[in-house]
Structure 1
Amino acid sequence: MEKSFPITPWKYGLLVTCILIVTCNVFFFSCGVTTWGSAVSVYGSYGSALCGGAVFGVAFLGMYVALKVSYKYSIYYLIFSGLVIAALGSYLFTFTAMREQLMGRFEERMRDLFERKTHSDDKMQPVHSLFGCCGIEGPQDYLKEEHGALPSSCCYAFDCSKPAHVYEEGCSTKAVANLRMQAELNYYSCMAIIALEFLGLFTAYHLGKARKYAKTKVKDEETPINA
Structure 2
Amino acid sequence: MKVPFSTATLWKYVFLVVNCMITAFDVLLISCGVVSLGGAGSLAGAYTAASIGFLAMFIALMGAMASVRQSLILSWAYIVSTVLCIVLQTVGMIAFGILKDDFTLMAAKRVQGIWNGRPETQQEMDAMQEQHNCCGRDSPQDYLPDKQQTLPSSCCRWGDCAEDDNILARGCVDAVTSFFNDQSDNLVLIIVGLIAFQVLGVVSAYYFTQSMVNHKQKREQIIINE
Report the TM-score, using the length of structure 2 for normalisation. 0.87
**Correspondences of 1:53-72 after superposition (within 5 Å):** 53-72=54-73
* Residue segments in structure 1 that go unaligned for 5+ positions in a row: none
User: Is the 8 Å Cα contact of residues 71 and 209 (structure 1) preserved in structure 2?
Assistant: no
What do the CA deviations read for 1:62-111 (whole angstroms, capped 9, x no partner)? 22223333222111111211221121122112111111110111011101
Taking a change above 3 Å as real, the CA distance of residues 119 and 100 of structure 1, as seen in their structure-2 partners, is closer
- Tell me, yes or no, if structure 1 residue 45 matches structure 2 residue 46: yes
* Residue 218 of structure 2: aligned partner: 217
Amino acid at match of 2:109: E
Shift of 1:192: 1.5
Taking a change above 3 Å as real, the CA distance of residues 39 and 194 of structure 1, as seen in their structure-2 partners, is same
* Residue 208 of structure 1: aligned partner: 209
RMSD: 2.2
- Tell me, yes or no, if structure 1 residue 130 matches structure 2 residue 131: yes
Taking a change above 3 Å as real, the CA distance of residues 143 and 222 of structure 1, as seen in their structure-2 partners, is same
Report the TM-score, using the length of structure 1 for normalisation. 0.87
User: Is the 8 Å Cα contact of residues 29 and 50 (structure 2) preserved in structure 1?
Assistant: no
What do the CA deviations read for 1:162-215 (whole angstroms, capped 9, x no partner)? 544432221122221111111111111111211221111111000011112222
Cα separation, 2, equivalents of 1:12 and 1:116: 56
- How many residue pairs get matched? 221
Taking a change above 3 Å as real, the CA distance of residues 11 and 120 of structure 1, as seen in their structure-2 partners, is closer
Amino acid at match of 1:203: S
**Correspondences of 1:167-186 after superposition (within 5 Å):** 167-186=168-187
User: Is the 8 Å Cα contact of residues 12 and 208 (structure 2) preserved in structure 1?
Assistant: yes
Shift of 1:13: 2.3
Cα separation, 2, equivalents of 1:57 and 1:190: 16
**Correspondences of 1:1-227 after superposition (within 5 Å):** 6-118=7-119, 121-223=122-224, 225=226
Identity of aligned residues (%): 25
Cα separation, 1, equivalents of 2:145 and 2:16: 59
Taking a change above 3 Å as real, the CA distance of residues 120 and 205 of structure 1, as seen in their structure-2 partners, is closer
* Residue segments in structure 2 that go unaligned for 5+ positions in a row: 1-5
